[in-house]
Structure 1
Amino acid sequence: MDNRAASRAPVITGLVFLLIGLVLAGGGLWLASLGGSWFYLLAGLGFITTAALLWMRRPAALLVYAALLLATLAWSLWEAGLDWWPLATRLGLLFLLAIWLLLPWVRRGLVARHSEGTKAAASPPRARKGWIPLAAVTALVLLASVVSWTRDAHRIDGRLPAPTAAAPPPAAGDVPPGEWHAYGRTGYGQRYSPLRQITPANLDQLEVAWTYRTGDVRGRPGDPEETTFEVTPLKIDNRLFLCTPHQSVIAVDATTGEEVWRLDPRIQEDLALQHLTCRGLSWYPGTPAREERDTSEAVAANTDTRASESADATTAGPGPDAPAPAAGTARADATTPALDARTPSGAPVAAAGLPTGSCTARLFMPTADGRLIAINPNDGRVCEDFGNGTGQVDLWRNMPEVNPGSYYSTSPPVVAGGLVIIGGTVLDNVSTTEPSGVIRAFDARTGELVWNWDPGDPEDTLPIAPGETYSISTPNSWSISSVDEALGLVYIPMGNQPPDQWGGNRDPEGARYSSSVVALDIATGQLRWVFQTVHHDLWDYDVPAQPSLIDLDIGGETVPALVQPTKQGEIFVLDRRTGEPVLPVEEVPVPQGAAAGDHTAPTQPVSALSFGPPDLTGADMWGATLIDQMFCRIQLHKLRYEGRYTPPSEQGSLIHPGNFGVFNWGGVAVDPVRQVAFATPAYLAFTSKLIPREDDETLYVQTGDAPPHSPLPDLNENFGAPFAVQMGPFLSPLALPCHEPPWGYVAVADLTTGEVVWQHRNGTVRDLAPIPLPFRMGVPGIGGPMMTAGGVAFYSGAMDYYIRGYDVATGEELWQDRLPAGGQATPMTYQGADGRQYLLVIAGGHGSTGTKTGDYVIAYALPGDARP
């Protein structure tokens, strides 16, 4: 670069420094006026001073900037310590500018007026006095960065001891080791397999055995944003059974991946859906004589208003592996009764237009239009001997506020004691007049209603009389339940009473069951106990995950326990006989001051086993640069924030963790031998702002134009309440999370003590950043983990597209494979007809997280020579 260009470099550089300085000084003054850090204002003045000296081409510019860089380093270490990512946002921009200032042509420009017309070979001593200190401070910043690369301030290292038992204790239902009969493998919801062919020693040799594509992806007209492929398939004999986002049910050969049959239940169009997904199916193997007697007695005991109806459920029939006719043709002896084409709510009648036949074993499929369909696992036909010949139960029956799409079940029901027990989701924040959150039990053979537990009328579980309706807008159960048939109890995770962020008009009876776990008697539906995880929930902290049942050795005594993960990060460990805590639970004071007409609970429960995040401070704010980090600090001070459980407000409140949840529907996996939980905690803060409503018609939040074909609901308007609500993730101006990473971990916790044995950040930003850089920052995820007796755990839910395998003892990631789409589902494992253990992964993406959509079902296995 010649001297003329060199003389221009300080002027151009000075302009850049001035712009940065003005932004930092202006924003820093704003932040300081809000009670935040003064550093940004002082740093802005330092940039402005450096800019002025650069324009004057004074070597002192380097000295001033060296002092600014040194002060920034000291401030960064004081706030963040030797933690790489927080240091990078504070120092990265300043470090790069220091490198620029040290380049020869910039330094020559600073002394150009002393050497014009000469060919000086070196800068005068006065210039060296500037760049040597700057070079030294720059080297010091580099050294601190290198040191921070070698340590992980958020890592907990530990090691589990070797298991003391050779095999796990018996689980619910005596499921064969190589099969997977329910969403969590058994009714216990452990997501644990006794298979041990895949181990830490051979895990890295897993390879794709087969891939099946369903052909069902999101993006059809009328799809809600949250159209997701979240299924965990069942494995019975040598077949896999799964459902797709648009509700098709498919049987696949478990060893080869070849499709056996497919059924499209043709769900009702133009539904006001908030979610469109199917997390799984339920399986009923058929009724032994004892169960038939027990079910008949329960039906007789629970009603005196309906006529006794029975079906011969002991008739022999083909098992799931019998030869199957083509799914699109009806058997010669199948009959289709004369039925109306639609239910009263407008949904199709399954038996009126689909292949039908008699069934012994059956699959249960909940649909987005509010039906529960019974399907023959052998051939994919609708069971004509279910639902009085309709092949289904209409879940809209006796419902208040019938609005197709506002009530349906996204999760598989529980099958126990000859009953199929089902809840459903309601729209979260549309209005105060939504359908009921009633839990119902139907005879698994006939579809006859046996009992109903209505949170608004919890004492009367007798089947509701014709013409009556359940209580309006009660807490609902949208997630997966668990069952202990030996105790005769079904465990229901409950959601909140709508709307979520304002509870001034909630009825006291229903409020008792909001955001709780309830234990109901399988035979009668009577309440046995309730444990509330959040009091007067104003944060959408509904209980999102299936309870996991496990027997724990506590003080030399075997305690039948229930493990309940929650959105706020608590893992409650309860005695599943009584609901009393096994690990201590403390009621702690929380922020007060709800919106007008509402109130807050004075305390909230905190478990001894908690992944709840610490309160955020200004030092926790983050961004790509010092500038957007400053704006995150400004936002933090503008919002109301007093720690966890800060109430929503008209000012706007920071909610951490947000309603995405530390844990969501994926839950945890538990090992009944080691008595530990494998967890995948995630951390994303959200904002919540209440918008006063003046009437019940105006749209205050959903002001954009909806597509002309879309009947989708006006979410967050809260018609009937005094406030609508604006919610969203707490992001920087560059759309990055405003609080520093890690945002996602994998961890193992001892369920007998509450100790977190190890915890490691998990996942990269490869599929989140504009440039696909595989930085292992620890990213959030949705979907659950799975564990095996072989000592390995699997998880695919992180927001980068990988399935990963871990050593359960240490947390070391031993294997990963790139997925063709987001893996936001819970993997499972089984044994094929060839004797190999298969790992099954769903790669379909998730609408709310924006991960890549897909329709992939991928099976992994060890090559023949790698099996132990």
Structure 2
Amino acid sequence: MRALLRSATLSLLVGATPAFAQRVDWANTSGDPGAMRYAPLADIDRNNVGRLKLAWRWNTGERSVRASANQKAARPGLFQASPIVLGDTMYVSTPYAAVAALDARTGRELWKFDPEMWRTGQPSNGTGFVHRGVATWASSTQRRIFINARWKLIALDAATGKPIPSFGVNGEVDLTKELRRAVNQLQYTNTSPPVVYGDLVIVGNGVGDRIRYRNDPPGDVQAFDVNTGKRVWSFHTVPDSGEVGWDTWEDGSYKYMGHTNVWAPMSLDAARGLLFLPVSTPTNDWYGGDRKGDNLFAESVVALNAKTGARVWHYQIVHHGLWDYDLPAPPVLATITWNGRPRDVVAVPSKTAWIYVFDRETGAPIWPIVERPVPKSDVPGERAALTQPMPTNPAPFTRQTVSENDLIDFTPELRRRALEVFSKYRSGPIFTPPSLEGTIVMPGSIGGAGWGSTSYDPESHTLYVKGTDNPVVYRVQKGVPNDTIGFEYTVDLVRSGLGVTADPDSGKADHAPPEQLPLIKPPYGTMTAINLDTGKRRWQVTLGDTPAIRNHPLLENVKLPPLGVAGAVGGTVTKGGLIFATGGGSVLYALDTRDGSVKWQFDLPAGRGYANPISYRAANGVQYIVIATGGGDNAELIAFSLDGRH
């Protein structure tokens, strides 16, 4: 490991500044611990946003690298991090889980720490090397930066970038060391930042969907002392014998099932000491014959006592999951007006395209959530849940099924071929299970909502959610011994994509309609504004575009409607009445919060902006908009300000 010091000291606290230039930090990757992604800044507003220009750029400098001659080259994935800004210093993680400190006014690099996780080879999570941010803790004498790099939790001195020797072993804690069973470290990873509460640093983990075997890594959430690295508590997302929920894993399957992890960001209500977990799917996402039962706490929102790790309440949004409908995003902690009074709630975005809204303290649904019958499975050994919980409000923000009316009709020939593809597979309402011949599932594995889909305006009580309309095909097949040890069936991932609108990291698209055009009509990406006081939609617009479709040779001279772009990221909302978002595409937009109209846009030079933007005001009085862009060998942060000031 190495830390390169570019500046002898860092100023972490800025003194008093004139009122017109009061510094406003972005202290959490989601803006605040409650994941509102809201900047209380109006220097940039609807009237002057057209003056936004590039202020500075910073390149990660990362490249594909081979640690040894017999190792497959490691390659940095998409740059997906949202930085944090404290004073005039920005801290950001790179795809390789390095940490850099930058001057937030100019982008000048101050120091960089590289844990050299690329030496471990390419991860097996399907997305490769990605990381989405860091967390911070401060005492009266020192500030620390925490990053969870694959199986390591690392504490750095914020002033120098050097590991804290007294934390764990030389600044590191092995996150697999105290798990309930031994695991292969190479199958354990992290993409979302830790959560800091008091003197605890709390982490989830990620286990790739492609890892499907008995006794794979469990998804336990762990808390460690920020000073020593000693583990303080652990929460079992797959309960042990006698714990609440263990009997929802029939035939003793709790003993060998894993995953059920919290790979998405967690949210924290520090005043109440409540930690909110968005829990993902169990082992072998698409076949549950080896884990009969509802499988708590998979695909659940779980509220924990942040100090002790004790469960306070939970709600399972998918019973016995078969669709990879993990909770992909941090629960949004909002205050709404209910019966004329303020009420603190948690709004949970989901891949199902529903927003589930609960009382923050009790877990009681704000609006009724009804258990409704769903189709049965005929896959041998499978026993799908008979009912699934379906919210009555708010309404779904994307389509939840595919019918003939949804198929592309750009030309008569494309329509004919789309019908031909559609007829090969099963289709039906949401929660139609995977099948041996293949089932068209909508929403697909990237949503609905994705890991960065939501932002919230606490003044208007409006939730903004980026939605993706992208069906997938789940075809169950006999297990392959080298792939699924001990499981009779699994999914045919080779056939899980339907077109160019699929996330490029989510699988192949080899049986789409001709030349990789999508099966369904647009829009493929939307932005929806929801009034959380009532649950009613304020507006919905198509967000972004998909050049691979618009410029397709089969569509030459065909007039196309707005297409939208598929992707897991949404926006950041500001007091200036703007939402900054790419939707996962290569254009950064500023949308008017009143109606979703585009007030400004910018073509990103490094390609896709697959991250949530941030906004802050530095001590120089300048409000900045910053977004991570690109990936691979060309990943960079891009900062904007009015007239390019810095």
TM-score by length of 2: 0.86
Structure 2 CA distance, aligned partners of 1:687 and 1:455? 28
User: Hey, what does 1:652 align to over in structure 2?
Assistant: 438
Q: 2:220 aligns with which of 435, 438, 455?
A: 438
User: Hey, what does 1:579 align to over in structure 2?
Assistant: 363
Matches within 5 A, 1:331-342: none
Cα deviation, 1:823-843, whole Å, max 9, x if unaligned, reads: 001100011221010000111
Preserved CA contact (<8 Å) 2:153 2:175: yes
Matches within 5 A, 1:546-585: 546-585=330-369
User: Hey, what does 1:398 align to over in structure 2?
Assistant: 178
User: Hey, what does 2:497 align to over in structure 1?
Assistant: 729
User: Hey, what does 2:39 align to over in structure 1?
Assistant: 193
- The 3 A distance-change label for structure 1 pair 725 and 401 is farther
Q: 1:256 aligns with which of 102, 106, 117?
A: 106
Structure 2 CA distance, aligned partners of 1:495 and 1:225? 26
User: Hey, what does 2:472 align to over in structure 1?
Assistant: 686
Structure 2 CA distance, aligned partners of 1:839 and 1:864? 11
- The 3 A distance-change label for structure 1 pair 223 and 203 is farther
Shift of 1:471: 6.6
User: Hey, what does 1:204 align to over in structure 2?
Assistant: 50
Amino acid of the structure 1 residue aligned with 2:192: S
Counterpart of 1:734 in 2: which secondary structure?
A: helix
Preserved CA contact (<8 Å) 1:177 1:195: no
Preserved CA contact (<8 Å) 1:438 1:470: no
Amino acid of the structure 2 residue aligned with 1:664: G
Cα deviation, 1:178-215, whole Å, max 9, x if unaligned, reads: 11111211111110011111111111111111111111
Cα deviation, 1:104-130, whole Å, max 9, x if unaligned, reads: xxxxxxxxxxxxxxxxxxxxxxxxxxx
Counterpart of 1:619 in 2: which secondary structure?
A: helix
Q: Which stretches in structure 2 are left out of the alignment for 5+ residues?
A: 1-21, 245-253, 499-511
* 1:857 and 2:637 correspond: yes
Shift of 1:662: 1.2
Q: 1:365 aligns with which of 143, 147, 153?
A: 147
User: Hey, what does 2:247 align to over in structure 1?
Assistant: none
Preserved CA contact (<8 Å) 1:797 1:822: no
Preserved CA contact (<8 Å) 2:267 2:277: yes
Amino acid of the structure 1 residue aligned with 2:34: Y
Preserved CA contact (<8 Å) 2:371 2:389: yes
RMSD: 2.4
Structure 2 CA distance, aligned partners of 1:272 and 1:238? 34
Amino acid of the structure 2 residue aligned with 1:860: F
Shift of 1:643: 1.9
Preserved CA contact (<8 Å) 1:425 1:476: yes
Shift of 1:739: 0.7
Amino acid of the structure 1 residue aligned with 2:199: G
Shift of 1:583: 2.7
Structure 2 CA distance, aligned partners of 1:213 and 1:790? 29
User: Hey, what does 2:15 align to over in structure 1?
Assistant: none
Counterpart of 2:413 in 1: which secondary structure?
A: helix
Structure 2 CA distance, aligned partners of 1:823 and 1:594? 41
User: Hey, what does 2:86 align to over in structure 1?
Assistant: 236
Matches within 5 A, 1:406-805: 406-433=187-214, 434-457=216-239, 472-506=257-291, 511-607=295-391, 608-609=393-394, 610-622=396-408, 624-693=410-479, 696-697=481-482, 717-727=483-493, 728-730=496-498, 731-766=512-547, 769-770=550-551, 776-799=562-585, 801-805=586-590
Shift of 1:613: 1.1
Q: 1:269 aligns with which of 101, 106, 120?
A: 120
User: Hey, what does 1:91 align to over in structure 2?
Assistant: none
* 1:378 and 2:173 correspond: no
User: Hey, what does 2:611 align to over in structure 1?
Assistant: 825
Counterpart of 1:860 in 2: which secondary structure?
A: strand
User: Which has the larger strand fraction?
Assistant: 2
Preserved CA contact (<8 Å) 1:423 1:437: yes
* 1:837 and 2:623 correspond: yes
Structure 1 CA distance, aligned partners of 2:345 and 2:368? 13
Amino acid of the structure 2 residue aligned with 1:573: V
Counterpart of 2:544 in 1: which secondary structure?
A: coil
Preserved CA contact (<8 Å) 2:95 2:131: yes
Amino acid of the structure 1 residue aligned with 2:610: Q
Structure 1 CA distance, aligned partners of 2:535 and 2:639? 34
Counterpart of 2:402 in 1: which secondary structure?
A: coil
- The 3 A distance-change label for structure 1 pair 521 and 534 is same
Structure 1 CA distance, aligned partners of 2:353 and 2:23? 32
Relative contact order (alpha carbons < 8 A, sep ≥ 6): 1 or 2 greater? 2
Amino acid of the structure 2 residue aligned with 1:493: P
Counterpart of 1:201 in 2: which secondary structure?
A: coil
User: Hey, what does 1:40 align to over in structure 2?
Assistant: none
Shift of 1:270: 2.9
Structure 2 CA distance, aligned partners of 1:770 and 1:269? 39
Preserved CA contact (<8 Å) 2:257 2:282: no
Amino acid of the structure 2 residue aligned with 1:394: D
Preserved CA contact (<8 Å) 1:247 1:265: yes
Preserved CA contact (<8 Å) 1:807 1:814: yes
Preserved CA contact (<8 Å) 2:624 2:641: yes
Count matched residues. Answer: 583
Counterpart of 2:475 in 1: which secondary structure?
A: strand
Shift of 1:634: 2.0
- The 3 A distance-change label for structure 1 pair 492 and 224 is farther
Q: Answer with 824-833 or 591-600: which moved more.
A: 591-600
Cα deviation, 1:286-342, whole Å, max 9, x if unaligned, reads: 2xxxxxxxxxxxxxxxxxxxxxxxxxxxxx53xxxxxxxxxxxxxxxxxxxxxxxxx
Shift of 1:598: 1.3
User: Hey, what does 2:5 align to over in structure 1?
Assistant: none
Amino acid of the structure 2 residue aligned with 1:391: G
Preserved CA contact (<8 Å) 2:403 2:427: no
- The 3 A distance-change label for structure 1 pair 631 and 794 is same
Shift of 1:488: 1.2
Counterpart of 1:787 in 2: which secondary structure?
A: strand
User: Which has the larger helix fraction?
Assistant: 1
Shift of 1:364: 0.6
Counterpart of 1:425 in 2: which secondary structure?
A: coil
Amino acid of the structure 2 residue aligned with 1:662: G
User: Hey, what does 1:327 align to over in structure 2?
Assistant: none
- The 3 A distance-change label for structure 1 pair 225 and 373 is closer
Preserved CA contact (<8 Å) 1:624 1:734: no
Q: Answer with 242-251 or 780-789: which moved more.
A: 780-789
Shift of 1:747: 1.8
Cα deviation, 1:42-62, whole Å, max 9, x if unaligned, reads: xxxxxxxxxxxxxxxxxxxxx
- The 3 A distance-change label for structure 1 pair 782 and 226 is farther
